[in-house]
Structure 1
């Protein structure tokens, strides 16, 4: 399993009145990492259909600690935890070298923009995202 690692810059506008990164910005950080994976990397490996149309059908974040605004970027690691016929579930962690700030989960549904309906994942897309798939039991086998 590969984890996609994305260095995400913080913006001054991400900060709230208390000098912390606003909770909504965390969702943008997850989005930026996912977009880098789906729109930049997948098309390079013939998995380009998803970049032509997809929608977020569910997203959750578990906030672990406040992040103070600073110039240094955070790292967003993203990987796939489930591939269904018409949905991909991504897990993410927002961190830097010292702290983990949040864990996230996003369900992305392939979407046909012309028909306005969900569609199935293509074999090429499945092949690409399987490189990022955390296979069940893998962590236990390493212990």
Structure 2
């Protein structure tokens, strides 16, 4: 199956007082990567999944190694680990080659903001996410 990679810059402000990337910054990295990934769903019409509405149901992050500030971006590799009719789980590996700094997982649900309630994935959304579906989990 396919995976998507996003190369995320590390900002000076991402560091904590100990000189390592703060744990909260990792959530921002994952968000940037996820938006880049999902925008590929409908690049000519904007992002269908976010345009029609979605919410984050939960995050899990396992920190493996310290990440320090540097000028080179860090790679965030993504794939889908679970796909249901009303949720999608995206797994991540924050890494440089074989060096993994964190593994993570985000579960999202499509949401109808006009009606104020969850909705089901559309057929187009399901087809998009199926291309990245793997039976492995990054967090465990």
TM-score by length of 1: 0.89
| Structure 1 partner of 2:42 | 43
Q: Distance in 2 between matches of 1:91 and 1:119?
A: 22
CA contact (8 A) 1:76 1:92 kept: yes
| Structure 1 partner of 2:125 | 125
Q: How does 1:50-61 map to 2 (within 5 A)?
A: 50-52=49-51, 53-61=53-61
Question: Shift in Å at residue 47 of structure 1?
Answer: 9.2
Q: Distance in 1 between matches of 2:135 and 2:20?
A: 35
Question: Shift in Å at residue 51 of structure 1?
Answer: 1.7
| Structure 2 partner of 1:141 | none
Q: How does 1:19-38 map to 2 (within 5 A)?
A: 19-38=19-38
Question: Shift in Å at residue 96 of structure 1?
Answer: 1.0
Question: Shift in Å at residue 116 of structure 1?
Answer: 1.4
| Structure 1 partner of 2:65 | 65
CA contact (8 A) 1:46 1:124 kept: no
| Structure 1 partner of 2:86 | 86
Q: Distance in 1 between matches of 2:46 and 2:124?
A: 5
CA contact (8 A) 1:62 1:104 kept: yes
Structure 1: which 5+ runs fail to align? 137-143
| Superposed CA offset, 1:82-141 (max 9, x none) | 1101100111000013511000000011011111111000001101111100147xxxxx
Q: Distance in 1 between matches of 2:130 and 2:46?
A: 11
TM-score by length of 2: 0.90
SS in 2 for 1:34: helix
